[in-house]
Structure 1
Amino acid sequence: MTTPHGYTPPPSGFGGHRPAATALYGPHLDGDAMPALYEDLRRTHGPVAPVTVAPGIEAWLVLGHRELLRVARDEQDFSHDPRRWSPLREGRVPPDSPILPFVGWRPALMFADGQQHRRMRAAVSDALARVDGHELRRRVRSAAEELIASFAGRGAADLVPQYARRLPLLVISGLLGLDERPGRRLVHAIGRMGATASDSGRASRRINAILLALIEEKRSRPGDDITSALLHHPARLTDEEVLHNLLVMFVAGHQSTVDWIATSLCVMLCDPAFPSAPTGGRLTADDALDLVLWRFPPTQNLPTRYATRALRLGGQSIRAGDMLILGLAAANADPAVLPPGGPAAGNRSHLAFGAGPHTCPAQDPARVITRTAVDTVRQRLPDMELAVEQPELAWVPSPWRRGLAALPVRFTGPQPSRTAPADAAGTGIDRPGHPAAPQTGEVR
């Protein structure tokens, strides 16, 4: 089989009778390279492929839609608990391995199965359900207006660092009850996780200190925020459980929303099927959001599951304790289930938010944030266009996320601020979703 330029598959660690593994890491594996790699793996191995996710660390990448649904839905055979992972149990994972931040066990819903998972998920879901969709839209629009005002007079901006990256930070920090300054410190510390072993240790301590201070404050002085809701939920989460579930929500919610906003704006700027103005045209903002979730899901590979017993999956022999990676982007493009020409109208059966009992509980507020962010900048800067040629746009090199490294735009000036009508600001919380868009323009 072929591999990305500059890569040689490491020797197989699965045993002599196992197929050779392909590296799922390295600086060349960006958004341009990954789709071709998935299809190459699918042609060579079928719906489940052997990969390495770090030097000397083997796993199985689940590429098939049906196989991914089985893994995501079956907690009996596929556990979320990394303490079941054989190399970790046997001390074969180097202490400086970049995979460690993903596989260190924490008392949070994404590392739990069964009753423990249901208890924590109930608290998280109830806390998120208390978020008022109308108030969240107002909060997002207000933060978006401030950010746009900070660069609107210049006639140009990079919408990734100046808009898409900052907006979810402001909003999610507020939802958790964090002020902007500790929220920024938290994001910076999260960004240092996995850089080196020493950086990860320092970052972890900073993260814990910020969130523990927030928990202490909200336990004595609760407010109308997610942290207070978790602390005072009937599930009686411990402070440690609240801390780690907040961390999961912040990490997952922040980065995936950043990438969803930026890629949706890029699709609307690059594809002639989308109008430059916020009204009219045959495809809508919701179509752009859904197109991104189908073709450019912000989380393209989701770590991880661990086989609880030896079994067969997608033609491969999986051993007890093996790691499995959920290939969300590859499964969305599985030709066995994807109709010719793309998903049919009204089809939101993509796997961008996962599946089964661990489906993302925050997808409704994430859509509110993303839709409002897209609407607001398009209304305020209606003549906005790319400041570079489309082929010059680049993706962040990562096997886990799919996000643009930059989105430079230019414009003549802002339109006066106005309140969007209710139907224009609608989201999945308030009304049925628009159909998923057909396959149209490409983004490099």
Structure 2
Amino acid sequence: MTTYPPGRQAFSRSAPVRLWEDGFALDPYRYYADLRAQGPVGWAELAPGVPAYVVTDRRAALNLLHDTETFSHDPRPWESTVADDTPVLGMMRWRPNSLFADGTAHVRYRRSLIDTFERIEPHDLRARVHGAVRVLVGRIGPRGRADLVGEFARPLMALVFNSLFGLPDSQSDRLESALGKMMEGGSQAAEGEAEFGGYVLGLIAAKAERRGDDLPSWLLDHPAGLTPEEVTWQVFLTLGAGHEPTANLVSNALSRILGNPLYYSTLTSGARPVMDAVVEVLHHETPLANYGIHYARRPVTFHGTWIRAAVPVVISYGALAHTAEQEVTDGRHPKDASHLSWSAGPHACPVRQHTLLIATEAIERLTQWLPDLEPVLPRERLSWRPGPFHRSLTSLPVRFSPRSPDQPGDPS
């Protein structure tokens, strides 16, 4: 078990930093500064009256992510202390899947996910992304203007994931709407959770009756012997963790690229790979800003702060990324080029390569179709969606020369 420095106090004497208010979406870095001023572990609220410890120090984050003896992913002791209408409950409620499991149960769930995703060949995933981009360019291309969040990044993920999960394109809007409500953790969070739950339940019921060449069917037939209920919650996790953060990764990367014309020209000319832009976002503006939620199994002193049991301990990947950005030495790379956007330890993201492929192929293909994308607003005037967990643009309006996917000279 890890040994931590002796404690200073039970809680910060400061008022909790309110990650749920509108100002956090506008300028999260001011809030992260307030948290860091409290030490490696700050005191915050995820929603009104829902307190949490927030880890803003890299060493402390790594200690926590690897210490399975002291910290658990099971939220049920905390869940019993909050009201049923708590707005962040949709993102934090216990379900029998790999995110909320420890020990052998976690290994079993995680193995089934890894094995299932390994069945997706890179060339197949690439083709699905290319097909989705073509569909979306067909919608927006002739107009010469678009919102790259609402009309590209988010529907792109719904199209790709519906394809992987064996659902028709017509269901993509339903998926996108439900996940957006749930992720924001606001007044519509419970509605979004219910809609998303209904979406997944219907999907698994259909696959249990008739298998297909898709992820839910592969999970149902995996040697781990998952029950239909367990498969339902694995799919619930995979769709939620895959759709929203990946959509945000794409739109955040596009906003950084288009906000710097010189940078954009190096990407469209092939002098610099799109992967550079995607990795830059993971370093400096990670799409899942605050998550990796743990709970102390018993009261413990952790990096100078007394942590109570059954209180969420959140990893602030956003605060860690911003700290790295402040340490830039050569204009491109932080002193420590590593980041924790994929988390670390036993619960590190098991499908990071799939996520990177989707994001880079989507951006590369879009800029091939529409090479003269131009932002309508400067980056500092873009707005961000509220919510304690994500860093997500509300919209990214652009203009470009109108074109359709079937005109001569388009990408093959």
TM > 0.5 fold call:
yes
Q: Return the alpha-carbon distance in structure 2 between the equivalents of residues 20 and 379 of structure 1.
A: 49
Q: Return the alpha-carbon distance in structure 1 between the equivalents of residues 308 and 11 of structure 2.
A: 14
- The residue that corresponds to 1:9 in the other structure is none
Residues 84 and 321 in structure 1, CA contact (< 8 A), matched pair in contact too: yes
Which residue, out of 345, 361, 364, partners 1:372? 361
2:129 is the alignment partner of 1:140: yes
Q: Return the alpha-carbon distance in structure 1 between the equivalents of residues 17 and 380 of structure 2.
A: 27
Structure 1 residues 262 and 103: alpha-carbon distance in aligned structure 2, compared to 1, 3 A threshold: closer
Corresponding pairs, count: 398
Which residue, out of 16, 19, 29, partners 1:24? 19
Q: How far 1:51 sits from its partner (Å)?
A: 0.9
2:106 is the alignment partner of 1:77: no
Which residue, out of 31, 39, 43, partners 1:37? 31
Which residue, out of 378, 381, 384, partners 1:395? 384
TM normalised by structure 2 equals 0.89
Q: How far 1:115 sits from its partner (Å)?
A: 0.6
Residue aligned with 2:293, SS: strand
Structure 1 residues 110 and 343: alpha-carbon distance in aligned structure 2, compared to 1, 3 A threshold: farther
Gaps of 5+ in 1: 1-13, 420-444
Residue aligned with 1:94, SS: coil
Q: How far 1:191 sits from its partner (Å)?
A: 3.8
Which residue, out of 397, 404, 410, partners 1:408? 397
Letter of the 2:223 counterpart = P
Equivalent runs, 1:42-441 vs 2, <5 Å: 42=36, 44-85=37-78, 88-89=79-80, 91=81, 93-193=82-182, 194-196=185-187, 200=190, 203-276=192-265, 278-280=267-269, 283-334=272-323, 340-341=329-330, 344=333, 349-414=338-403, 416-419=409-412
TM normalised by structure 1 equals 0.83
Q: How far 1:264 sits from its partner (Å)?
A: 1.0
Range with greater deviation from structure 2 (156-165 or 179-188): 179-188
Residues 248 and 392 in structure 2, CA contact (< 8 A), matched pair in contact too: yes
Gaps of 5+ in 2: 1-8
Letter of the 1:218 counterpart = K
Residue aligned with 1:367, SS: helix
Q: How far 1:263 sits from its partner (Å)?
A: 1.2
Structure 1 residues 254 and 313: alpha-carbon distance in aligned structure 2, compared to 1, 3 A threshold: same
Structure 1 residues 189 and 411: alpha-carbon distance in aligned structure 2, compared to 1, 3 A threshold: closer
Letter of the 1:245 counterpart = Q
Q: Deviations over 1:177-211 (max 9, x none)?
A: 122233432333334445548x72x6555434432
Q: How far 1:41 sits from its partner (Å)?
A: 2.1
Q: How far 1:382 sits from its partner (Å)?
A: 1.1
Residue aligned with 1:60, SS: strand
Structure 1 residues 386 and 355: alpha-carbon distance in aligned structure 2, compared to 1, 3 A threshold: same
Letter of the 1:23 counterpart = R
The CA RMSD over aligned residues, in Å, is 2.6
Letter of the 1:364 counterpart = Q
Q: How far 1:17 sits from its partner (Å)?
A: 7.8
Q: Return the alpha-carbon distance in structure 1 between the equivalents of residues 47 and 268 of structure 2.
A: 46
Q: Deviations over 1:207-254 (max 9, x none)?
A: 344323322332343222111111011111111111111011111111
Q: How far 1:309 sits from its partner (Å)?
A: 1.9
Residue aligned with 1:165, SS: helix
Q: Return the alpha-carbon distance in structure 2 between the equivalents of residues 173 and 394 of structure 1.
A: 28
Residues 11 and 43 in structure 2, CA contact (< 8 A), matched pair in contact too: no
Structure 1 residues 50 and 223: alpha-carbon distance in aligned structure 2, compared to 1, 3 A threshold: same
Residue aligned with 1:28, SS: helix
